[in-house]
Amino acid sequence: MAHIIIIGASTGGLPAAYEARELLSKEHQITVISNTPVFHFVPSNPWIAVGWRKRKETSFNLESYLSAKEITFSSAGVTEIRANNNQLLLGDGSTLDYDYLIVATGPKLAFDEIEGLGPEGFTHSICTIDHAEKTYTSWQEFMKSPGPIVVGAVQGASCYGPAYEYALILNYALRKAKIRDKVPMTFVTSEPYIGHLGLGGVGDSKGLLESEFRHNDIKWITNGKVQRVEDGKMIVEEVNEQAETIKTHELAFSFSMMLPAFKGVDCVAKMGEDVVNPRGFIKVDEFQRNPKYTNIYGVGVCIAIPPVGGSALAVGVPKTGYMIESMAKAAVSNIKAAIEGKAPSAKATWDAICLADMGNTGAAFVASPQIPPRNTAWMKKGKWVHYAKVGFEKYFIYKMKKGSAELAFEKHLLKFLGLAKTK
């Protein structure tokens, strides 16, 4: 009997757990460890931050659903990974031994790297549901006395889509309230151009998003290095291709949401340079295995991926939901092979599907694979994307409650799009 432990219970950890339960025989033990007893559907956070969703609509308690699939669950969290001993130290002081470990922790939010950034400073966040709810509280106050808005992502961020999404959701909310004319908006990003997305662009993402910003009177600063944030003011250095400062902007704001840089969580980051990169992200090979400890697998935002193309500032590569699920499927398939004494063979396709809401419309892209060069790359806009994201929210939450990594409907849709999770 093998004991497979998964650290993390979000868009990477849960699909990995369900995939393991489906692929492995019942004699093998599966344990999921999280630092929270509740699942939150993170892509809904921009809606929560404007009051379009409530916590109860996008969250559920994990234990009963995992238990129904004979998966052990703990919300104690992990404080130390003792890879030499195949052991974890949990937050409650207990230890667990594993045969195979899947790390799907997500990131540590590095607000502290910029003075005044984040919920404890002068900007808001939509990275967690707690942050999103706090943001909504401030948004309600802002609507009573509107003023300038600054939205974006700082240097070192690696998930730019939600920043664009939230900027355009705010734009729609302001127009609906008929106070858009009172609110100058500026988008600040470390990307070399609008629509780069950490991916070197997808299809005509540059043209589409620039057009959307122009149409909605949203100004932008690219190659923007946020130096510090003060109460109601953001200091941004605009740099050239050589990372030399060409202009310093002092942006006044009444409301701001800035995505932070990401780092590896503490229990992963302190595993050492043989295991993680300088930012604390776990190194993996083409089979999702750590090169030093081949019984440790990495899935999702916590893994190290080199940046795409050259940029003057740090621009991380996003790990989108579908891409993460493909990693999870590959990792579990290779664990099954290892248990059976076979060589690993499953590789994640790293194909990407992204749905970004813009209030009453939206933009969608498909990139296969996500990292260029690609076999397929397109980006389109339309009201159908808004409804598609609503549908996906309901579908994914249903799928995670049902305890299945992939339902028949999803398989047929992916086949229609010419996509697959593994190769």
For residue 307, is the peptide bond before it cis, meaning its omega torsion is within 30 degrees of 0? Answer: no
Closest CA to 249 of 358, 360, 152, 108: 152
pLDDT over 70 for what percent of the chain? 97
From residue 209, alpha-carbon distances to 157, 190, 255, 359 in Å are: 19, 16, 22, 15
The span from the CA of 134 to the CA of 48, in Å, is 10
Q: Does domain 111-261 have CATH number 3.50.50.60?
A: yes
Output the CATH code of domain 3-108+263-346.
Answer: 3.50.50.100
DSSP annotation of 412 = H
pTM: 0.95
β-bridge mates for residue 249, sequence order: 236
Residues that are catalytic: 159, 354
What's the mean pLDDT in 19-24? Answer: 96
pLDDT single digits (tens) 303-344: 999 888 779 999 999 988 889 999 999 999 999 999 999 999
Q: How far is CA 344 from the centre of its chain?
A: 27
pLDDT single digits (tens) 119-172: 999 999 999 999 999 999 999 999 999 999 999 999 999 999 999 999 999 999
pLDDT single digits (tens) 79-93: 999 999 999 999 999
The DSSP result for 25-48, as a single string, is: -TTSEEEEE-SSSEEE-GGGHHHH
* Cβ atoms of residues 316 and 160 within 8 Å: no
List the chain domain ranges.
3-108+263-346, 111-261
The span from the CA of 355 to the CA of 26, in Å, is 36
Q: Which two tokens stand for residue 72?
A: 């052990």
Query: Beta strand 149-153 with 255-259: parallel, antiparallel or unpaired?
Result: parallel
pLDDT over 90 for what percent of the chain? 90
From residue 1, alpha-carbon distances to 252, 298, 336, 340 in Å are: 60, 22, 12, 11
From residue 65, alpha-carbon distances to 7, 32, 61, 129, 399 in Å are: 17, 12, 8, 21, 11
The angle subtended at Cα 71 by Cα 68 and Cα 77, nearest 5°, is 125
The DSSP result for 263-316, as a single string, is: EE-HHHHTT-TTTB-TTSPBP--TTSB-SS-TTEEE-GGGB--PPSS--SS--P
What pLDDT sits at residue 352?
A: 85
Tokens 């006395």 sit at which residue?
A: 145
Query: Residue 52: in which H helix or E strand, if any?
Result: none
